[in-house]
């Protein structure tokens, strides 16, 4: 039996955590540029398994700080990474490359890193849903059991997100975020995400619950919305196949339910918050006037990437309005009929 040990201070940096795989064999996600400094304690057994304990590290990924401890254990059937990581001030853009979203300063840094490696974006012009691929080919090289917390979340100036936490479980290319939680607009989002990377194409499932989101906090910079005390609740159950967010949603099946009370909508409001689709829908339903919504409810069945409302109704101060038709995730097109009622 050949055994040894290491106890040293380790500081390193690079263009992406994903680049460390070739050097260490530890599978980490692609990220913006990073740097970290911590204590490495290793017990090396060349015949059985070795343990590498990276303790009390501090550093940055993009513009986000990171802190924590991670243990990497070699052995059969696969090596395993375990531990806890925390960010006290997390830029959501720095998570973008992990989830196939290209946004913000951190993503620009990651894009520059990709360009150095000869990679390029595959996002089609005019498409909103992310087309960046989940690279599942190496998901089976190791297992993981890591808990992550983001205390303060930065995303532009208006999206109120806080206290993000998730438990990341990777086993034999099967990835779960169970649960994924964060605060939003005075309420909460809770989800269980399951991505089966061992399937070709990848199979995905998401169960999401939104509770007590305050409408005025969803749009804190919009003066019109500060008049309302309304809230929004919702549930989504989606499953699909494909190796990008766009592909997963493009053939997804499931259900989406939304309920809103005491709201306020107008075409001008949609223009203020930059929602072109919302601007179209609100303009078709309400015209150019500001309208108070007593209650709005939607129950959408989704089959092969096409959502069809079983219920999609607005109870306003003037009328009960019903919406029918379809919305396609694959083509990102709407075909809706508005019945303004009386």
User: Which residues, 6 or more positions from 229, have their beta carbon under 8 angstroms from its beta carbon?
Assistant: 216, 262
Dist CA 157 CA 145 (whole Å) = 33
Q: Is 47:35 a contact under the CB 8 Å cutoff? A: no
pLDDT at 244: 93
Residue 84 located in a structural domain:
no
CA distance 180 to 206: 10
- Any domain includes 128: no
Position 336 scores a pLDDT of 85
| pLDDT value of residue 223 | 72
> Does residue 7 lie within any of the structural domains?
no
Tokens 């910079």 correspond to what residue? 221
Residue 99 is predicted with a pLDDT of 52
Nearest Cα to 84, choosing from 151, 158, 146, 1?
146
Task: Please list the pLDDT of the chain residue by residue as tens digits (342 residues).
Answer: 455 788 999 999 999 998 988 888 888 888 899 999 999 999 988 678 899 999 999 999 999 999 999 999 998 899 999 999 999 998 878 876 555 444 444 445 445 545 444 454 568 888 889 888 888 988 999 999 999 999 888 876 566 688 999 999 999 999 999 999 999 989 999 999 999 999 999 999 999 999 999 988 887 776 767 777 789 999 999 999 999 999 999 999 999 999 999 887 654 554 444 444 454 565 555 555 677 888 999 999 999 999 999 999 988 877 888 889 999 999 999 898 888 765
Domain count, the chain: 1
pLDDT value, residue 253: 98
Inside any domain, residue 202: yes
Please count the CA atoms within 13 angstroms of the CA of 280 that sit on its side-chain side. 7
- Indicate whether 281 belongs to any domain: yes
Query: Has residue 232 been placed in a domain?
Result: yes
Beta bridge partners of 146: 83, 168
What is the SS3 assignment for the chain?
CCEEEEEEEEEEEECCHHHHHHHHCCCCCCCCCEEEEEEEEEEEECCCCCEEEEEEEEEEECCEEEEEEEEEECCCCCCEEEEEEEEEEEEHHHHHHHHCCCCHHHHHHHHHHHHHCCCCCCCCCCCCCCCCCCCCCCCCCCEEEEEEEEEEEECCCCCCEEEEEEEEEEECCEEEEEEEEEEECCEEEEEEEEEECCCCCCEEEEEEEEEEEEHHHHCCCCHHHHHCCCEEEEEEEEEEECCCHHHHHHCCEEEEEEEEEEEEECHHHHHHHCCHHHHHHHHHHHCCCCEEEEEEEEEEEEECCEEEEEEEEEEECCCEEEEEEEEECCCCEEEEEEECCC
| Token code pair at residue 184 | 């939003």
Q: Locate 293 and state its tokens.
A: 């919504």
What's the distance, CA 109 to chain centroid? Answer: 19
Parent domain of 327: 197-342
On whether residue 283 sits in a domain, the answer given is yes
Q: Are 190 and 180 within 8 A, CB to CB? A: yes
Strands 3-14 and 253-265, bridge-based pairing: unpaired
Predicted TM-score of the model (pTM): 0.83
* Count of Cβ atoms closer than 10 Å to residue 210 Cβ: 21
């Amino acid at each position: 039996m050949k055994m040894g040990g290491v106890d040293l201070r380790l500081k390193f940096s690079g263009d992406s955590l994903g680049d460390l795989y070739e050097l260490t064999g530890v599978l980490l996600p692609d990220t913006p540029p990073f740097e970290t400094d911590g204590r490495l304690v290793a017990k090396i057994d060349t015949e059985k398994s070795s343990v590498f304990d990276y303790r009390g590290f501090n550093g940055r990924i993009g513009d986000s700080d990171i802190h924590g401890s991670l243990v990497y254990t070699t052995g059969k059937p696969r090596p395993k990474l375990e531990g806890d990581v925390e960010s006290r001030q997390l830029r959501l853009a720095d998570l973008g490359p992990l989830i196939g979203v290209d946004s913000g300063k951190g993503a620009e840094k990651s894009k520059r890193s990709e360009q150095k490696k000869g990679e390029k974006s595959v996002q089609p012009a005019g498409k909103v849903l992310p087309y960046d691929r989940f690279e599942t080919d190496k998901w089976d090289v190791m297992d993981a059991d890591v808990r992550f917390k983001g205390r303060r979340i930065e995303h532009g100036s208006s999206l109120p997100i806080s206290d993000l936490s998730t438990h990341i479980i990777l086993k034999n290319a099967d990835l779960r975020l169970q649960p994924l939680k964060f605060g939003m607009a005075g309420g909460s989002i809770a989800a269980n995400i399951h991505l089966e990377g061992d399937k070709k194409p990848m199979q995905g499932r998401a169960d999401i619950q939104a509770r007590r989101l305050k409408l005025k906090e969803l749009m804190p910079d919009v003066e019109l919305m500060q008049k309302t005390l309304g809230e929004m609740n919702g549930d989504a159950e989606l499953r699909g196949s494909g190796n990008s967010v766009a592909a997963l949603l493009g053939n997804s099946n499931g259900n989406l339910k939304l309920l809103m009370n005491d709201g306020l909508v107008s075409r001008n409001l949609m223009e203020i918050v930059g929602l072109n689709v919302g601007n179209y829908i609100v303009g078709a339903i309400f015209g150019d006037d500001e309208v108070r919504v007593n209650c709005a409810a939607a129950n959408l069945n989704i089959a092969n990437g096409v959502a069809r409302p079983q219920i999609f109704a607005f109870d306003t101060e003037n009328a009960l309005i019903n919406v029918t038709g379809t919305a396609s995730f694959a083509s990102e097109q709407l075909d809706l009929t508005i019945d303004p009622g009386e």
